[in-house]
Chain A
């Protein structure tokens, strides 16, 4: 956060009244056995989730995993076929009007009218809420001061997304839903938006977001549910989930045998997995992946084991284990494959 005036953080955080009126349970969202099918696709297939007050909760998964359907069921935009949904202690059937006042929503692909200005758009959305922050505060929070009088059509992708956030914030919501808030943004705009979410977290707001970027989930979320084919396949803090991979680091390599110097050679997995610190081995399109703890000790042994097999390394790299690796381990597919 270098390009932000020092006082804006304080003002932004101070602009929000702490969410009050929570039920004793302290959970902002509860889903039990929720199912939803569209035509022949089971978009959500028996979902149980609970999100605590003040938590930043992420739904992570590839496109088509059912994240948007799930979040839209929570937002009361889609009715589930089965199951119970409780938001802020209320349900959509009887408490819709109150709920709409108390939640903030950013949808995946809203295009606000091009010919309205930022300020006009926010003033419109502000008028829908009985209570909330002022338009000025929302502009300040989203750091759109310079664009206040600009038309929406002239905003960059990141600015439009921040406007969508500001529209979600004008009602001073207790619970904020963000559906893929950074999809399609360049890295800088994405970081900018992450800073905004960070500040909202600091202000104690409950946030539920979907994303298919693992680094986003790791960076922003207190807890993450990894979704695939409409089901939660893993649930926990990013650290817990990464720990399930077995090692803290991932070693990736490709080999060719010394004799023919070309093409992928066969690697015997047993000598590798026998190395202490190597937890698992898998191959994907000629690329070998080992999950490793104590990287500094394991790597020399991996080199030794490979040269003992007469194999020549054509690629070698390591990275810290991420949620991506968790997804790969659970499904055998990459998040970005879809």
Chain B
């Protein structure tokens, strides 16, 4: 045996790595799932020429007036059918012919419906002979980096790094504890820190593949931009993964059963799925909860990645999220080292 084979840290890391690769489900969740998700979202939010809004009208005259606007697709419906179509979301607005004019039926809390209300009204007023008071002209901009897919890719990356780090670490540790393997390990002369370190190192090796596959796909399939330094993006991914690994370690440091661990894991991850701006901007939450939202590791990670990829920001400009991520690495790791249950 050569020197490397006799190194316990190398052996521990190698074993971790092999065990992950021999778990087909893990491969699916780490590598395939994020790509499927990106494809799905990419299809759902693909670049439509412009949003064509579905609307309804009760008379053919009205329908013709509405069809004149390219932003609208109008159907003729009677009032009862139209109301039903409105309720099921098939149309956003129903224009009803009244003896004294037109009534618009729509949900004013839905932004699309409010937009429809404006376009429909303009189309009907124009058809009735209204003229623009001020001459206006549109200049259209379709730039990559401002599309939804560009926004959501860093979010998915962050979410994926969180999931794979936490599940990867947490389950493996709890399983080893449950099967008394942890106890057997500490009964040997193995240095305990190396055991925990081997999880981080194997994570690191997987991370490179995981991030490269996902971002490569996003680049090739959707042309998602990388405006910042790729090296710095890699560093951000690393910090994200380490922070969530530490959190996964903390969550699994006492749990004796898989059930307890997965409950805790979901408890920790659920708020971040909702609050951290994976699918929409976290700044939509009320100002009161913003400090909390900003302090979450996933928010920090996604903000920093969006800053890097979409705005080309350097690490120097991302001090706050980076500091938050570092804190989420150091504190949970230190705490779990103290409270870790080895048997």
Interface-facing stretch out of B179-187, B271-279, B301-309: B179-187
Q: Which residues of chain A are within 8 angstroms of B190 by Cβ–Cβ distance?
A: 128
A110 vs B12: C-alpha distance when bound (angstroms): 17
Q: Which residues of chain B are within 8 angstroms of A127 by Cβ–Cβ distance?
A: 5-8, 10-12
A168 vs B8: C-alpha distance when bound (angstroms): 16
Are A77 and B18 within 8 A (Cβ)? no
Q: Which residues of chain A are within 8 angstroms of B176 by Cβ–Cβ distance?
A: 113
Tell me if B19 is interfacial: C-beta within 8 Å of chain A. Answer: yes
A125 vs B1: C-alpha distance when bound (angstroms): 13
A3 vs B23: C-alpha distance when bound (angstroms): 36
A123 vs B189: C-alpha distance when bound (angstroms): 14
Counting chain A CB atoms within 10 Å of each CB, the highest count among B22, B183, B188 belongs to B188
A235 vs B171: C-alpha distance when bound (angstroms): 45
Q: Which residues of chain A are within 8 angstroms of B188 by Cβ–Cβ distance?
A: 100, 105, 125, 128-129, 167, 171
Tell me if B227 is interfacial: C-beta within 8 Å of chain A. Answer: no
A100 vs B187: C-alpha distance when bound (angstroms): 7
Are B15 and A113 within 8 A (Cβ)? yes
Instruction: Using CB atoms, name the residue of chain A closest to B184.
Output: A110
Tell me if B254 is interfacial: C-beta within 8 Å of chain A. Answer: no
Tell me if A220 is interfacial: C-beta within 8 Å of chain B. Answer: no
A167 vs B184: C-alpha distance when bound (angstroms): 10
Would you list which residues of chain B between 141 and 175 have a CB under 8 Å from chain A?
none
Are A101 and B22 within 8 A (Cβ)? no
Query: Can you list 12 A-B contacts (CB < 8 A)?
Result: A76-B187, A100-B187, A112-B184, A113-B19, A115-B19, A115-B22, A115-B23, A116-B15, A127-B5, A127-B12, A128-B8, A171-B188
In this complex, how many residues of chain A approach chain B with their Cβ under 8 Å: the count is: 28
Q: Which one of A100, A112, A167 contacts B189 once the chains associate, using CB atoms below 8 Å?
A: A100
Tell me if A315 is interfacial: C-beta within 8 Å of chain B. Answer: no
Are A111 and B189 within 8 A (Cβ)? no
Tell me if A135 is interfacial: C-beta within 8 Å of chain B. Answer: yes
Would you list which residues of chain A between 96 and 146 have a CB under 8 Å from chain B?
97, 100-101, 105, 107, 109-113, 115-116, 120, 123-130, 134-135
Are A110 and B179 within 8 A (Cβ)? yes
Are A97 and B189 within 8 A (Cβ)? yes
Tell me if A75 is interfacial: C-beta within 8 Å of chain B. Answer: yes
Q: Which residues of chain A are within 8 angstroms of B7 by Cβ–Cβ distance?
A: 127
The smallest beta-carbon distance between A109 and chain B, in angstroms, is 5
